[in-house]
Structure 1
Amino acid sequence: MADPLANDFYARLAPQGEFSRLADGNAYVPLPDDWYVGTADIVGSTAHIAAGRYKIVNTVGASVISAQMNAADGMTFPFVFGGDGASFAFPSGHLPRATDALSRVLRWAADAFGFELRGAIVPVADIRAAGFDVSVARYRPSATIDYAMFAGGGLAWADREMKAGRYRIDPAPEGALPDLSGLSCRWTPMKSRNGTILSVLVLPRPGADPAAVTAVSRRVVEMTRGLAGGGHPVPPEGPGVTWPNEGIAIEALASRGHGSLLRRKIELLATTLVAHFFFITRIKLGAFDPTHYVQVTRDNADFRKFDDGLKMTIDCDAATRDRIETVLREASAAGIVSYGLFEQESAIMTCIVPSVTSDNHVHFIDGAAGGYTSAAMALRAAP
């Protein structure tokens, strides 16, 4: 019989305030046995990146989470953004809604952008039967938002199963649309101030000593403390804005519903022009304070996470980059971790904003020229 408290499992977890503590597996709690894991990614994302479509890739990846948030009816659930996709988890009673939302996103990605977005939903019980686990923790980067961290190798196993064609979810029928309310991508790319935007992936090797993996991850995180802003890619004054920007066309495809794409673009051009004025002048408008909103945007940004391993998008100088690579190369040679690094000039941000007058807006950070996807390719190419 299902635990009556299972639906509230994640909401009842106490958030952690110290990021480096999350390198330790003891900070995580296993998901209930009757929960499910959902995962999705874009097939051929590297080709889309090479064609300069990474902002669209990020938007489609974030749309997986946006659709699930809007289908959750206020339920708190764990999710993680992966650049060209996303993963999430939910209780068994939410299975019909989660499946429907995912299938609609798969259809929308194909219809709006010609992307093949594949998705899967996997029982946690099957993950454990395969010898892996899914454990979660809540990390609170600011007073108003928290993000899920995952451990146990279960998400990675679910991703491999999806790519092998198992547990796959079919796209919804033609014409079906997901609810992507709040999904936006209006900020301009954020250029590095320290030298390079470095995408970092650090994954434990099979059979590696967990204490050794923890030590390596903590050492890498500690190295970022000496960077300006701790390596945060969003500048203290907040991300930049321009008008018009390429995100309007993408957002129009996410929010037009069954209406006219041209009309939706015109509506967004008008509303973003007004918003541009207030962000430039920083004049308050009723409950909306642009200066406060920009500061909260930076505080809420998801630029580092644990997702079956350490993942970061940091604004990094050359010396720190070299020290990080030295540590990771040595740990790789010792059989402790695998790693991937990718450098680019800028970072980009994709957002989910339920309301501009509340502080619970979500901001996903990635590199602007390949980011996590390209770092993963380097990881796969490593010996």
Structure 2
Amino acid sequence: MKDLHSEFYENLPLFREFTLVADPTQFSAVPDEWVVGVADIVDSTGEIARGRYKTVNTVGAAVISAMINAMNGKLFPYVFGGDGAGFAVPPSQVEAARDALAALRRWAEEEFSMPLRAAMVSMAEVRAAGRDVRVARYAPSTGVDYAMFSGGGLAWAEAEMKAGRNMVDQAEPGAQPNLTGLSCRWSNSTARHGQIVSLVVEPTASASEGDFADLVQSVLSMSEKLERAGHPVPENGPPMKWPPPGLDIDAHVSRNGRNMILQKTVLLFQNLLIAALFKLGKRLGQFEPDHYKKMVSGNADFRKFDDGLKMTLDCDASTLKRIEHMLEQARSRGKIRYGLHAQNEAMMTCIVPSATRDDHVHFVDGASGGYAQAAAAMRA
């Protein structure tokens, strides 16, 4: 028997102008029968201080990778937050989602000694608490689209999780989530126009939906004047070096219980072949390196809406000063909370179901703290 509203998300229209995230009419309410899930790394700020932000990003992206594989091709809304992720699924997928989160919690602790917490809660409970989850589909390219979230429901679910409610228990020792396609083999992209700025802006309780929409539109109008709207990844894709900087992390992700040294050796040879193909620009079967690199950049999620505006921009000093001034004025009026974190490079974590298709997903964040540090600055 088919779920009520099971095809809700895939039937939503796509929009291709990111500025439309400021328009509340673009968002549709997730059905009551659905369930939302959230996950994040415990003490991600401490992990960043210990120099483990690439690992933090990888574990955060693993939540989405495991969910994509658990859904078996079923489209569902999700969002990457740097040190975690949020999503919503129909009733028929709740048990698969819960199993994936349980395995992820065990895997993150055993593979990386990085505690991951996770929780799931019904939309009915979200709405009973006076919050909502509304989603829209933004397509940055012809290859992929990303979910945008509003309504405060994901933020509420995360706060409840941090208070110890609605938790998903760990799976048994040795549990392995299906992380097929997850990788981090690209090198970081260096800022070309100033600094890589990770920005998080959220409305306060005193801000109306219209107030916040107006502010978001103003910030986006300013960022749109940057080259390629501040896109931090070069148009022809990020650099690739050999050996890849994330080799140890990639080996932990892909080894699936196998010997680490053997898995690193396999990855070294794989990455050598890939680096050679990219350098020579030679086609191999249906794989076209030049086209793939352009799609990597085009598919990147450097801007998103997740109960607030999040962007990782290659930003010059004067534009950053104007954006900060605008945000500070709104903060002084009690309308927003915001945080930003500036660094020299952007990093990318990828989910690639197939290198011969255009639907590969690329999560962009600042390379030395990014969204997690911006969020910490906002809370402070």
| Contact kept? 2:340, 2:374, Cα under 8 Å | yes
User: Structure 2: which 5+ residue stretches go unaligned?
Assistant: none
| In 2, Cα distance between equivalents of 1:85 and 1:226 | 30
Residue 186 of structure 1 corresponds to 185
1:171-196 deviation line (CA, Å, top 9, x unaligned): 11101100000000000011100100
Q: 1:190 to 1:60 in 2, by over 3 A?
A: same
Residue 45 of structure 1 corresponds to 44
SS at match of 1:348: strand
| Contact kept? 2:235, 2:298, Cα under 8 Å | no
Post-superposition shift, 1:209? 1.8
Residue 294 of structure 1 corresponds to 293
1:83 equivalent in alignment to 2:71? no
Residue 368 of structure 1 corresponds to 367
Segment of structure 1 superposing worse, 15-24 or 370-379 = 15-24
1:28-78 deviation line (CA, Å, top 9, x unaligned): 000000100010000011111111110000000000000000000110000
| In 2, Cα distance between equivalents of 1:167 and 1:46 | 23
1:173 equivalent in alignment to 2:172? yes
Matches for 1:108-123 after TM superposition, within 5 Å: 108-123=107-122
Residue type of the alignment partner of 1:366 = D
| In 2, Cα distance between equivalents of 1:179 and 1:313 | 28
| In 1, Cα distance between equivalents of 2:3 and 2:177 | 29
Post-superposition shift, 1:258? 2.2
- Number of matched pairs: 380
Q: How high is the TM-score relative to the length of structure 1?
A: 0.98
1:152-185 deviation line (CA, Å, top 9, x unaligned): 0000000000000000111111011000000000
Post-superposition shift, 1:333? 1.0
Residue 325 of structure 1 corresponds to 324
Residue 69 of structure 2 corresponds to 70
User: Structure 1: which 5+ residue stretches go unaligned?
Assistant: none
| Contact kept? 2:244, 2:271, Cα under 8 Å | no
SS at match of 1:177: coil
Matches for 1:315-354 after TM superposition, within 5 Å: 315-354=314-353
SS at match of 2:82: coil
Residue 279 of structure 1 corresponds to 278
1:113-148 deviation line (CA, Å, top 9, x unaligned): 100100000111100000000000000000110000
Residue 159 of structure 1 corresponds to 158
| In 2, Cα distance between equivalents of 1:218 and 1:281 | 42
Residue 269 of structure 1 corresponds to 268
| In 1, Cα distance between equivalents of 2:138 and 2:66 | 22
| In 1, Cα distance between equivalents of 2:242 and 2:141 | 29
Residue 94 of structure 2 corresponds to 95
Post-superposition shift, 1:237? 2.5
Residue 249 of structure 1 corresponds to 248
Residue 105 of structure 1 corresponds to 104
Residue 25 of structure 1 corresponds to 24
SS at match of 2:310: strand
Q: 1:222 to 1:3 in 2, by over 3 A?
A: farther
Residue type of the alignment partner of 2:109 = A
1:211 equivalent in alignment to 2:210? yes
Post-superposition shift, 1:207? 2.9
Post-superposition shift, 1:108? 0.6
| Contact kept? 2:3, 2:92, Cα under 8 Å | no
Residue type of the alignment partner of 1:279 = F
| In 1, Cα distance between equivalents of 2:62 and 2:32 | 27
| Contact kept? 2:3, 2:90, Cα under 8 Å | no
| In 1, Cα distance between equivalents of 2:189 and 2:245 | 14
SS at match of 1:181: coil
SS at match of 2:14: coil
Please give the root-mean-square deviation of Cα atoms over the aligned residues, in Å: 1.0
1:295-330 deviation line (CA, Å, top 9, x unaligned): 000000000000000000000000000000000000
| Contact kept? 2:38, 2:158, Cα under 8 Å | yes
Segment of structure 1 superposing worse, 17-26 or 153-162 = 17-26
Post-superposition shift, 1:5? 4.5
SS at match of 2:119: strand
| In 2, Cα distance between equivalents of 1:24 and 1:173 | 45
| Contact kept? 2:3, 2:91, Cα under 8 Å | no
| In 1, Cα distance between equivalents of 2:3 and 2:99 | 24
Segment of structure 1 superposing worse, 2-11 or 207-216 = 2-11
Residue 236 of structure 2 corresponds to 237
1:15 equivalent in alignment to 2:50? no
1:127 equivalent in alignment to 2:126? yes
SS at match of 1:376: helix
Post-superposition shift, 1:4? 4.0
Residue type of the alignment partner of 1:307 = D
Residue 308 of structure 1 corresponds to 307
Identity rate of aligned residues, in percent?
51
Post-superposition shift, 1:98? 0.4
| In 2, Cα distance between equivalents of 1:42 and 1:67 | 15
Residue type of the alignment partner of 2:308 = G
